[in-house]
């Protein structure tokens, strides 16, 4: 049978774009469809605009610390509208870069909503296309709890488009999204309350990281309420009234409420039933090659149950294309994928937590921790300590996990990830000569 395309990609986010360019190198005919903006969540509503917002907030602390280094204190004000304008200009530039890259690769870009008619036929805004293989890379979407008054809340996408920043904000959810926005908004001068259903922030991270980040929040004046949530939100003349339940039962009034409890696969209206694609708890079920129950249909990124990280999605996109056209790779090891939380204090992790290591290795592990004040803050009133922690298998001395809280944690963890991937021992790590003075060199003396 003759098809319009060898490969049809649904979704032009990081995974879809990486897959399209990879497929073009095989010399096959490729189309990619996107109903929203080119670049997906990462470029438009996630990693990039959020990191820009974090950078903007960091200048507040930098200006305060500059006085201790001899700079004359001066008044300064943050203009949210100016930031938004500059941010949006840069995001538009990035979208154009991706558009040009697709054109140069010979990939046909289709704008519109895509729906399966069968396993090889797709409808894009009323136009039918056929494809030998299909890659689903539609990403995820923010979710909200089903409670009275939830319509008064906003998600992380909507927060980025606020006309002005609130004076008081409550954040439902203490995962990485909630933590990042909490510390950023606090630097902008907002009164921030974080409530988390779990007993700690950043569930899934090492306990030392959880404690250090929470202490950092308390130091910054962020009210942090764990084992606490809201079961009702009302709009009143003074703002939004939240009724809290759990360990901290009380009523608070704020101007805005951010719901940051997580994301779910964005599969609505895709017509997967028509293609007979199987689900796994509301996500698309895939094997280690990212192939679905239909042998010609693959799925990657946040629409599956894999780790929800942009680099993972990109890698899966490329690997899925390789699997389609004859070069399948080995299964990804989730334990070797580093992750970070761009909160203040910043956190990062790779490998096993202490709890996970004890579950797998019992008493055959040992942990090495180090706390220190980075040289950058030696002259300032800000004496917040950085934390580094190694989880090591005692018998072999092999490093099983690295966890850090402190400035540049997201940069430093990437070097640690290489050590884990190569099976480096703690003894071998201590033999490395680092750059002095630096924060990263502390990794070699834990």
Q: Residues near 297 by Cβ (< 8 Å), separated by ≥ 6?
A: 119, 133, 134, 135, 136, 275, 277, 291
Q: Give pLDDT, residue 76.
A: 82
Provide the pLDDT for residue 327: 83
User: At 169, which helix (H) or strand (E)?
Assistant: strand 168-172
Among residues 120, 305, 368, 436, the one annotated as catalytic is 436
Ranges of residues in the chain with a pLDDT under 50 are: none
Pick the CATH number of 346-445 from 3.90.1210.10, 3.40.50.280, 3.30.390.30, 1.10.3210.10: 3.30.390.30
CATH topology match: 5-141+264-324 vs 346-445 = no
The pTM of the full predicted model, rounded to 2 decimals, is: 0.95
CA distances for 338 relative to 67, 309, 311, 411, 415, angstroms: 35, 10, 10, 10, 10
> Which fold, 150-261?
FAD/NAD(P)-binding domain (3.50.50)
Q: Which phi and psi (to 5°) does residue 224 adopt? A: -115, 115
Report the C-alpha gap between 351 and 391 in whole angstroms: 9
**Distance between start and end Cα atoms, the chain:** 61
Q: What pLDDT was estimated at residue 192?
A: 99
Our answer to whether residue 368 is catalytic in this structure is no
Q: What is the CATH number of domain 5-141+264-324?
A: 3.50.50.60
pLDDT at 73 (0 to 100): 86
Could you tell me which of 433, 402, 404, 431 has the C-alpha nearest to residue 419? 402
Q: Domain ranges in the chain?
A: 5-141+264-324, 150-261, 346-445
pLDDT at 157: 92
Confidence (pLDDT) at 145: 94
What pLDDT was estimated at residue 1? 80
């Amino acid at each position: 049978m003759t098809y319009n395309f060898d490969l049809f990609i649904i979704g032009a986010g990081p995974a879809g774009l990486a897959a399209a360019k990879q497929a073009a190198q095989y010399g096959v005919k490729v189309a990619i469809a996107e109903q929203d903006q080119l670049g997906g969540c990462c470029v438009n509503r996630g990693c990039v605009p959020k990191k820009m917002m974090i950078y903007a907030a960091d200048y507040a602390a930098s200006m305060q610390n500059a006085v201790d280094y001899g700079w004359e204190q001066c008044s300064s004000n943050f203009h949210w509208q100016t930031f938004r304008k500059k941010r949006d200009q840069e995001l538009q530039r990035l979208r154009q870069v991706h558009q040009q890259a697709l054109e140069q690769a010979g990939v046909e870009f289709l704008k519109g909503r895509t729906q399966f008619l069968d396993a090889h036929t797709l409808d894009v805004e009323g136009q039918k296309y056929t494809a030998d293989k299909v890659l689903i890379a539609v990403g995820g979407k923010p979710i909200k709890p089903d409670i009275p008054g939830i319509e008064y809340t906003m998600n992380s996408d909507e927060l980025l488009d606020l006309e002005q920043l609130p004076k008081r904000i409550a954040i439902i959810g203490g995962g990485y999204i909630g933590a990042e926005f909490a510390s950023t908004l606090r630097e902008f001068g907002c009164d921030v309350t974080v409530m988390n259903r779990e007993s700690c922030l950043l569930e899934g991270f090492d306990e030392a990281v959880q404690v250090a980040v929470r202490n950092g929040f308390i130091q910054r004046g962020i009210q942090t309420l764990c084992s606490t949530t809201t079961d009702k939100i009302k709009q009143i003349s003074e703002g939004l009234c939240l009724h809290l339940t759990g360990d901290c039962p009380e009523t608070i009034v704020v101007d805005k409420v951010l719901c940051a409890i997580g994301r779910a696969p964005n599969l609505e209206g895709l017509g997967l039933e028509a293609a007979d694609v199987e689900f796994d708890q509301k996500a698309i079920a895939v094997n280690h090659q990212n192939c679905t129950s239909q042998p010609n249909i693959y799925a990657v990124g946040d629409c599956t149950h894999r780790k929800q990280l942009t680099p993972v999605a990109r890698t899966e996109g490329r690997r899925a294309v390789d699997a389609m056209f004859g070069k399948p790779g080995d299964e990804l090891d989730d334990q070797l994928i580093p992750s970070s939380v761009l909160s203040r204090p910043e956190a990062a992790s790779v490998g096993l937590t202490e709890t996970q290591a004890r579950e797998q290795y019992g008493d055959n592990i040992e942990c090495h921790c180090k706390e220190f004040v980075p040289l950058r803050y030696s002259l300032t009133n800000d004496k917040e300590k950085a934390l580094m922690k190694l989880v090591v298998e005692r018998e072999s001395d092999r490093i099983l996990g690295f966890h850090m809280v402190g400035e540049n944690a997201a940069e430093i963890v990437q070097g640690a990830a290489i050590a884990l991937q190569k099976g480096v021992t703690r003894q071998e790590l201590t033999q490395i000569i680092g750059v002095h003075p630096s924060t990263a060199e502390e990794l070699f003396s834990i």
